[in-house]
């Protein structure tokens, strides 16, 4: 029974020392003096403010991508004990003692370091040689732009890490498919592929490009699987179901989880609230939630309300009026009604209050019991401070001549009677008997006499309108738009019939407590829509560039300059690697075209296994470059050199693949292989030399004279060399 004690317990393990060495060198290159410089470097000023928001649990909205990337950076701050107290307002600002710089930059640096051994593993899983795998890893290790980007509090290195993890996981799954389908390792790698794809999308929307590539490759392999006659129908169905769950369901669930955690963490009101709907704002602690706490839920005749435009563009604003009237004659010579101005005002103001009046009664107070307003009811909107009714008529709007002017009616005793009846339509109603609800209901006001809809045109009025936004009456025949939709934000039941008492009432807070909590899905859908619809400032930047400039490295970015010395950090790639990657891509395209033409003529230059290996490598590496690069030509946004880095990593993976292919299949004799190998070694040496030369700009730890700096920029050096000769 105890016989096992008579023999020693032995555990054996296969350790790839090359992999260990690559991992160690990757960690050294990315973590060495990570806290230097102890100052805000380029886009750290952008991401840092979001980390502070996470630390303080303050809601924010960023249109650059989903929240997972920001949460990764915030995790570094949390592990370092960061309290969020730092003013992120200037590139080059010195970090205060409470900012854990090493911790904040740690996770991007680790992602960049681990990308080195992953490149090695990917090339091996493609069934290329150990030398080719080492070549890919070494190129990832010494590429200066990748080193620079991963040593800072930025997201590109994390995105690249998950892109490579998705490719590596799928290749391991694909290789397991051949000998052990449905095994534990098979399920693990398939599931990890879906997880990595979801994480890549969660870092930045650019991750969608790699995700689509993986889905396309998986779809092609699934199509071949369907045609495999050795598999039963049930087995094929199980294969397809497993792929659908791992590559479609799991990524969607994880994507939702990122937003769920994001919204759980950020429960406090913040500076970005006004972009969101009133209902969303009311779900946050403080801000609008503090103002609207205690409001009645159902709008009744006699209710005092503020009406916010749901569209929120160009800025969030509220229906507003004031004593001033439209000018008799506009600048273009057209006449107006000279009625009281109605605008949309982007600030809280007492002149934003309106009273919902029953057209059949004179009272401006809520009856007892309150009579709720329902979908389809006729209402009059009386301006709270001037007691004039919202009106429109067949007079052209000041800036939108094809729409009607909207005003508050002043009786001038002329032949222009009031037309102040509006029909309430609840856009998001569940039935035609729905009650108008505070914050939750999205409504339209349709003018009874002209069928015009109350609409925010978005145009800024001239100085006579205090640069406020124009409100118009838009004909229903012109179609529906979100700028026609309004919701009640602040609400109270009016109790004072006298004007002076009512004015005091309008200045006082509401008292009745009604809680309004949006569901997670409602908040997720609104936040996702705002992120996709929000357009950031696309103005030209000093260091912005076009996609064509990336391939030839005809641009760089000055990330940081020491305030006292000339030490500086630039995002500048290794020109040998960048140009060689582009050449490898061109060679792959030419060779593949040649092979396809020859195979069409039934001439097979490559054995079948070598051909399949070549095609799969091209689909993942050349395809990875294409999907991560070509879409930028269609984007109307400010672009920078770092946007090319994910595409560059796929080029780097392809480069040793092409070199090995040339050596194995195009060099016919041993002499040719020897000469080619010597050229490859010389090429690698030149890449290492360039990497070492650019080291001062990569790490920023050496002062440079203007002449030395110019010599390090490859284009300037080339121009100098030409002038000398």
Q: Which has more pLDDT, 431 or 129?
A: 129
Per-residue pLDDT tens digits for 466-507: 999 999 999 876 667 888 999 998 888 877 666 666 666 665
Q: Give pLDDT tens digits for 105-120.
A: 999 999 999 999 999 9
In the prediction, which pLDDT does 539 show?
A: 62
- CA–CA separation, 247 vs 264, rounded Å? 26
CA dihedral (39, 44, 283, 343) positive or negative: positive
Q: Give 231-239 contacts, CB < 8 A, sequence gap 24+.
A: 238/182, 239/181
Say how far residue 509 (Cα) sits from the centre of its chain.
38
Check whether residue 146 and residue 237 sit in a common domain.
no
Mean of the pLDDT values across residues 617-636?
Answer: 94
Local structure of 65: helix, strand or coil:
coil
Interior angle at CA 458, CA 486 and CA 285, nearest 5 = 50
Rg (CA), the chain: 33
Q: What integer best gives the mean pLDDT of the chain?
A: 88
718 — pLDDT class (breaks 50, 70, 90): very low
Confidence at 715, pLDDT banded by 50, 70, 90 = low
- The whole-number pLDDT of residue 423 equals 95
pLDDT, tens digit (0-9, with 9 covering 90-100), for 327-359: 988 888 888 888 999 999 988 889 999 999 999
Q: Is residue 57 part of a domain?
A: yes
Q: What is the pLDDT averaged over residues 19-31?
A: 95
Q: How many CA atoms lie within 13 A of 120 on its CB side?
A: 19
One domain for residues 270 and 312: no
pTM comes to 0.82
Q: How large is the average pLDDT for residues 7-20?
A: 84
User: CA separation (Å) from 599 to 118, 184, 610?
Assistant: 33, 38, 14
Which carries the bigger pLDDT value, residue 63 or residue 265? 265
Return the structure tokens found at 262. 């994001």
Q: Give the DSSP letter of residue 390.
A: E
If one counts the domains in the chain, the total is 4
Residue 503 confidence (pLDDT): 62
Structure tokens at 542: 């000093």
pLDDT of 214 reads 97
Query: 101 and 108 in contact (C-beta within 8 Å)?
Result: no
Same domain, 664 and 716: yes
Question: Which tokens is 204 given?
Answer: 């930045």
- Is pLDDT larger for residue 562 or for residue 589? 589
Let me know if residue 501 belongs to a domain.
no
What span, in angstroms and rounded, lies between the C-alpha atoms of 466 and 458? 14
Asked if the model's pLDDT at residue 217 lies above 80, the reply is yes
**Is the same domain home to 455 and 413?**
yes
Highest mean pLDDT among 258-262, 282-286, 545-549: 258-262
Report how far residue 309's alpha carbon sits from residue 646's, in angstroms, rounded to the nearest whole number.
40
Distance CA 78, CA 75 (A): 5
User: Does residue 278 share a domain with residue 307?
Assistant: no
Q: What is the dihedral of CA 192, 196, 199, 201, to 10 degrees?
A: -130
CB 425 within 8 A of CB 376: yes
**H or E element at residue 446:** strand 443-447
| Backbone dihedral angles phi then psi of residue 164, each to the nearest 5 degrees | -70, -35
Q: What is the CATH number of the domain that holds 378?
A: 2.80.10.50
For residue 609, what are the domain limits?
111-153+540-724
Q: Which of 171-175, 311-315, 543-547 has maximum average pLDDT?
A: 171-175
pLDDT at residue 512 greater than cutoff 70: no
**Do 326 and 430 fall into the same domain?**
yes
Give the Cα separation of 273 and 280 in Å (integer). 8
Which of the two residues, 719 and 574, has the higher pLDDT score? 574
Determine, yes or no, domain membership for 646. Answer: yes
Among 97, 96, 142, CA closest to 119: 142
Statement to judge: residues 89 and 168 lie in one domain: no
Dihedral, 385, 390, 395, 398 alpha carbons, nearest 10: 50
Can you list the alpha helix ranges (DSSP code H) found in 266-368?
278-282, 288-292
If asked whether residues 567 and 635 sit together in one domain, one would say yes
Answer yes or no: do 433 and 321 share one domain.
yes
> With 0-12 CB in 10 A as exposed, 13-18 as middle and 19+ as buried, what is 415?
exposed
pLDDT of residue 499: 64
Residue 128: band (very low, low, confident or very high) from pLDDT cuts 50, 70, 90: very high
- Residue 21 inside a domain? The answer is no
At residue 456, the 3 state secondary structure works out as: strand
Domain match, 459 and 591 both: no
* Matching residue, tokens 């919701």: 487
Supply φ then ψ for residue 610, to 5 degrees. Answer: -70, -35
Q: pLDDT at residue 432 above 80? A: no
Burial of 416 (0-12, 13-18, 19+ CB in 10 A): middle
Assigned domain for 418 exists = yes
The pLDDT > 70 percentage for the chain reads: 91
Residues 458 and 574 in one domain: no
pLDDT tens per residue, range 290-325: 666 667 888 999 999 999 998 878 888 999 999 999
Considering the domain boundaries, does residue 14 fall inside one?
A: no
What are the percentages of helix, strand and coil residues in the chain, rounded to 5?
A: 50, 15, 35
pLDDT of 565 > 70? The answer is yes
Check residue 277 and give its pLDDT. 80
> Residues 47, 138: one domain?
no
Query: pLDDT band at residue 83, thresholds of 50, 70 and 90?
Result: very high
Does pLDDT of 636 surpass 70? yes
Return the pLDDT at 506. Answer: 60
Structure confidence at residue 537 (pLDDT): 56
Is 8 among the domain residues?
Answer: no
* Neighbouring-strand partners of residue 345: 318
Q: Which pLDDT value is given to residue 418?
A: 86
Task: Looking at mean pLDDT, say which of 257-261, 357-361, 700-704, 718-722 comes out highest.
Answer: 257-261
Return the minimum-mean-pLDDT range out of 204-208, 243-247, 265-269, 497-501: 497-501
Task: Please check the confidence at residue 538 and state whether its pLDDT lies above 60.
Answer: no
Instruction: Encode pLDDT of 276-290 as tens digits.
Output: 887 788 788 876 766
Rounded CA gap, 588 and 666, in Å?
Answer: 13
3-state secondary structure of 695: helix
* Helices (H) then strands (E): counts for the chain: 24, 14
Residue 521 lies in a domain: no
Candidate from 58-62, 152-156, 429-433 with smallest mean pLDDT: 429-433
How much is the pLDDT for 453?
A: 95
Q: Quick one: pLDDT at residue 393?
A: 87
Task: Render the burial of 53-79: b for 16+ CB within 10 Å, e for the rest.
Answer: bbbeebbbbbebbbbbbbbbbbbbbbe
The pLDDT > 90 percentage for the chain reads 63
């Amino acid at each position: 029974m105890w016989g096992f004690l008579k023999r020693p317990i032995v555990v054996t393990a296969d350790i790839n020392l090359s992999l260990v060495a690559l991992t160690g060198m990757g960690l050294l290159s990315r973590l060495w003096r990570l806290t230097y410089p102890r100052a805000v470097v380029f886009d750290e000023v952008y991401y840092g403010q979001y980390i502070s928001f996470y630390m303080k649990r303050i809601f924010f909205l960023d249109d650059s991508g989903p929240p997972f990337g920001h949460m990764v950076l915030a995790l570094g701050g949390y592990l370092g004990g960061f309290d969020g107290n730092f003013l992120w307002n200037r590139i080059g600002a010195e970090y205060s003692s409470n900012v854990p710089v090493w911790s904040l930059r740690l996770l991007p640096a680790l992602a960049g370091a681990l990308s080195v051994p992953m490149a090695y593993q990917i090339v091996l899983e493609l069934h290329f040689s150990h030398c080719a795998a080492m070549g890919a890893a070494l190129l990832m290790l010494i590429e200066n732009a990748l080193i620079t980007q991963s040593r800072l509090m930025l997201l590109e290195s994390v995105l690249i890490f998950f892109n490579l993890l998705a490719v590596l996981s799928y290749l391991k799954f694909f290789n397991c498919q051949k000998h052990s389908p449905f095994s534990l390792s098979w399920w693990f790698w398939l599931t990890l592929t879906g997880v990595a794809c979801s994480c890549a999308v969660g870092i930045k929307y650019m991750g969608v490009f790699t995700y689509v590539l993986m889905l396309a490759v998986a779809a092609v392999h699934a199509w071949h699987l369907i045609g495999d006659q050795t598999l039963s129908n049930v087995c094929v169905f199980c294969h397809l179901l497993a792929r659908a769950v791992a590559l479609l369901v799991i990524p969607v669930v994880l994507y939702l989880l990122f937003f769920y955690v994001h919204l759980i963490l950020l429960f406090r009101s913040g500076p970005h609230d006004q972009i969101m709907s009133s209902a969303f704002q009311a779900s946050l602690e403080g801000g609008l939630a503090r103002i609207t706490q205690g409001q009645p839920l159902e709008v009744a005749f006699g209710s005092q309300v503020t009406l916010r435009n749901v569209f929120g563009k160009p800025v969030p604003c509220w229906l507003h009026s004031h004593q001033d009237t439209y000018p008799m004659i506009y600048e273009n010579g057209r006449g107006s009604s000279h009625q009281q101005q109605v605008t949309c005002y982007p600030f809280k103001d007492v002149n934003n209050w309106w009273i919902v009046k029953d057209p059949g009664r004179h009272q401006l107070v809520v009856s007892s019991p309150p009579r709720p307003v329902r979908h389809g009811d006729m209402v009059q909107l009386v301006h709270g401070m001037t007691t004039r009714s919202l009106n429109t008529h067949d007079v052209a709007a000041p800036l939108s001549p094809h729409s009607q002017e909207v005003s508050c009616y002043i009786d001038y005793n002329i032949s222009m009677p009031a037309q102040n009846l509006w029909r309430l339509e609840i856009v998001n109603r569940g039935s035609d008997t729905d009650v108008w609800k505070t914050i939750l209901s999205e409504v339209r006001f349709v003018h009874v006499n002209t069928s015009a809809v109350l609409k925010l045109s978005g145009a800024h009025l001239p100085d006579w309108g205090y640069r406020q936004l124009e409100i118009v009456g838009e004909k229903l025949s012109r179609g529906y738009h979100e700028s026609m939709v309004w919701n009640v934000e602040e609400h109270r039941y009016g109790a004072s019939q006298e004007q002076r008492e009512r004015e005091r009432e309008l200045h006082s807070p509401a008292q009745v407590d009604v809680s309004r909590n949006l569901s997670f899905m409602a908040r997720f859908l609104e936040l996702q829509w705002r992120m996709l619809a929000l357009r950031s400032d696309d103005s030209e930047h000093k260091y912005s560039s076009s996609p064509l400039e990336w391939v030839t490295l005809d641009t760089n970015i000055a990330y940081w300059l020491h305030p006292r010395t000339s030490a500086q950090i630039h995002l500048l790639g290794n020109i040998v690697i960048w140009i060689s990657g582009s050449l490898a891509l061109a060679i792959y395209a030419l060779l593949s075209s040649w092979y396809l033409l020859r195979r069409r003529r039934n001439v097979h230059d490559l054995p079948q296994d070598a051909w399949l290996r070549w095609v799969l490598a091209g689909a993942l590496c050349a395809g990875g470059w294409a999907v991560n690069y070509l879409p930028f030509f269609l984007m109307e946004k400010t672009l920078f050199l770092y946007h090319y880095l994910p595409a560059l990593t796929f080029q780097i993976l392809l480069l040793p693949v092409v070199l090995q292919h040339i050596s194995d299949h195009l060099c016919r004799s041993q002499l040719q292989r020897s000469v080619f190998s010597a050229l490859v070694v010389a090429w690698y040496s030149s890449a290492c030399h360039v990497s070492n030369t650019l080291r001062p700009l990569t790490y920023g730890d050496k002062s440079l004279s203007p002449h030395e700096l110019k010599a390090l920029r490859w284009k300037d050096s080339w121009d100098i060399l030409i002038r000398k000769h």
